[in-house]
Amino acid sequence: GIKGCTEKDLEDEAEMMRRLDHPNIIRTIDAYWTAARDEVRLVEEYAMGGELFQWCRARRRRQSRRPSG
């Protein structure tokens, strides 16, 4: 299994993610395990605007350039 997880653990986690319904959380549509690569793949809704990491980095830069006061 994947780092000590059982298939049941992964199925339970995927089911919990599919049930989440919140406007600030990207919806998980499906999850499946690829035996050939021993990976879990998530199918999630598309979120416009790029990667969250890049957005956060740009925001920190803008905030650090603002004059303090």
9-65, pLDDT tens digit by residue? 888 988 999 999 999 899 999 988 887 877 888 999 998 888 888 989 999 999 998
Say if residues 41 and 31 touch (Cβ distance below 8 Å).
yes
Q: Which of the two residues, 7 and 28, has the higher pLDDT score?
A: 28
* pLDDT tier for residue 1 given thresholds of 50, 70 and 90: low
Q: What is the pTM of this model?
A: 0.59
